[in-house]
């Protein structure tokens, strides 16, 4: 792999995303980082890559559609192509939060926003070499016992890690599986992957992990480089699986509630059309101003 390869990584400034960014840079890739937070200032490798232009930052709170639209527009105006898109941004929250658009935050950030990013950057992916998108899913999808797509936006209850977080990750994998045949017809490979258990805890940051999971994570889970490796292998490995596959430990795994896939895809697409695209059109009309007549 050489410097001509370009990957876009969301959530690239910490945890698995940071480990993945480091690996891609080490292998000669150019990385476009779509992030909310800055990279560590004391990471000399990252800072050197940024100063040389091999790491290019696009900053936004991804769950804020105004900020997301601006960042995506900037990417489309400055970049000629994307070879691989890693839809990786996410996290578990300690209680029920809602986005600026009024939806449960796990669902917004980990299900809807990856769809928006894929749809908005699809044309750049088509210009790339690998033409691949990997969505970061989770092993918690196997824990989901009750799944109702019409409750994803505003859940009736909250449970740390195994509630909205797990539901949103399952919904991500389901829409990817459902959309994959149409994407393949356009020459694109989309799939989701479980990065496994990784110790991604950060100091002075609240997590949505149950107390016992914090202990397990601290004592038993692997560093983020493990998860980054699994995402990397999902994109470039020789798993030979069909589009839309859900990979766990780099092997195809069954998804539950696949009969709900179309409903989830219709839901995220409706949000994309109704809110994001409508907002874009309104902003374009505002920028162009009133048209002269006669």
Q: What is the pLDDT of residue 2?
A: 44
Strand-pairing partners, residue 32, are 8, 56
Residue 76: which residues within 8 A CB-CB, separation 6 or more?
A: 120, 121, 123, 124
What 3-state class would DSSP assign to 183?
Answer: helix
Q: What is the pLDDT of residue 53?
A: 96
**pTM of structure:** 0.89
pLDDT, tens digit, 9 for 90 and up, residues 155-199: 999 998 899 999 999 999 999 999 999 999 999 999 999 998 754
Domain ranges of the chain: 6-288
Q: Which stretches of the chain score pLDDT less than 50?
A: 1-3, 199, 201, 211, 292-294
> For the CA atoms of the chain, what is the radius of gyration?
19
Check whether domain 6-288 has CATH 3.40.50.720, yes or no: yes
């Amino acid at each position: 792999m050489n410097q001509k390869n370009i990957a876009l990584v969301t959530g690239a400034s910490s945890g698995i995303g940071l480990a993945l960014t480091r690996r891609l840079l080490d292998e000669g890739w150019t990385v476009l980082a779509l992030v909310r937070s800055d990279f560590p200032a004391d990471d000399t490798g990252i800072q050197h890559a940024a100063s040389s232009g091999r790491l290019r930052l696009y900053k936004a709170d991804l769950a804020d559609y105004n900020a997301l639209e601006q960042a995506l527009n900037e990417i489309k105006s400055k970049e000629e192509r994307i070879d691989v898109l890693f839809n990786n941004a996410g996290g578990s929250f300690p209680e029920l939060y809602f986005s600026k658009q009024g939806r449960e935050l796990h669902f917004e950030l980990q299900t809807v926003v990856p769809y928006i990013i894929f749809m908005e950057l699809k044309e750049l992916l088509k210009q790339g070499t690998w033409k691949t998108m990997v969505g970061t899913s989770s092993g918690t999808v196997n824990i989901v016992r009750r799944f109702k797509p019409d409750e994803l936006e505003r859940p009736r209850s909250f449970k740390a890690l195994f509630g909205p977080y797990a539901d949103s990750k399952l919904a991500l994998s389901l829409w990817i599986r459902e959309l994959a045949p149409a994407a393949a017809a356009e020459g694109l490979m989309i799939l989701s992957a479980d990065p496994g258990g990784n110790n991604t805890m950060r100091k002075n940051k609240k997590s949505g992990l149950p107390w016992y999971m914090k202990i397990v994570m601290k004592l038993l889970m692997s560093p983020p480089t493990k998860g980054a490796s699994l995402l990397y292998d999902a994109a470039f490995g020789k798993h030979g699986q069909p589009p839309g596959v859900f990979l766990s430990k780099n092997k195809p795994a069954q998804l539950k509630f696949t009969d709900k896939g179309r409903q989830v895809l219709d839901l995220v697409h409706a949000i994309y059309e109704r809110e994001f695209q409508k907002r874009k059109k309104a902003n374009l009309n505002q920028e162009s101003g009133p048209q002269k007549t006669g």
